[in-house]
Amino acid sequence: MIHGNLVLVEEPEVQIVTTDEMKKHMRMEYDSEDALITSYIKSAQELLEIDLGRSLAEQTFELYFDSFPETIFLRRPPVIQIEEIKYFDINGDEQTLTTDEYQFDQYARRPYIVAAIDTTFPETQEGKINAVKVKYKAGYENAPNGIKQALKLIVSAWFENREETVTGITQQTLPKHVGLDSILAKYRMVHS
């Protein structure tokens, strides 16, 4: 399986949990820590996206290949739409695939693109690096509650324990939240 080079070209504009939602979860009534909480939310969202292999809020990616693979697996689902598929043909001219030249399964656990029935993808310029570019939008319109809850647990732990280790009579690493892995298991993409 060819994975291609994934580039984030438009970051998410929203957080899946707002600062006010987070403060309510933490039973916090003052505003002096809002900037810190907001930064924790953003970092926790990025951490969860990497851990789960998913896009938690709408963002845009470009996926590059040196030539067309038989199947183009799109990373960081859920995929909202394919914006464009461009490639350099055998003469080095940039071309765009039309939507009738490929099929897109956005509902597969790992969304993918294949050539239209009874066709193949076109050949690309030999030796051209990143000759194929697939641009697509991915992310939840509204992230699942389990993921939001996991984010709240992470941010709460970071807020309460601003260091990775706690020093007292003995030094210990902070424990993981009970159930966090279980909450996230059904959303985690299996990497092959």
Cα four-point dihedral sign 124, 125, 126, 129: negative
Q: Give the pLDDT band (50/70/90) at residue 185.
A: confident
pLDDT digits (tens, 9 = 90+) for 25-69: 999 999 998 999 999 999 999 999 999 999 999 999 999 999 999
Contact (CB, 8 A) for 139 and 55: yes
Range of the domain at 45: 1-192
Q: Give the pLDDT band (50/70/90) at residue 161.
A: confident
Range with lowest mean pLDDT among 52-56, 146-150, 180-184: 180-184
How big is the CA angle at 79 (ends 85 and 67), to the nearest 5 degrees?
A: 30
Taking the model in full, what pTM does it have? 0.83
Relative orientation angle of helices 34-52 and 145-160, to the nearest 10 degrees: 130
Task: Assess whether pLDDT exceeds 50 at residue 100.
Answer: yes
Task: Assess whether pLDDT exceeds 50 at residue 167.
Answer: yes
Q: Which of 38-47, 83-92, 149-158 has the highest mean pLDDT?
A: 83-92
Count of the separate structural domains present in the chain: 1
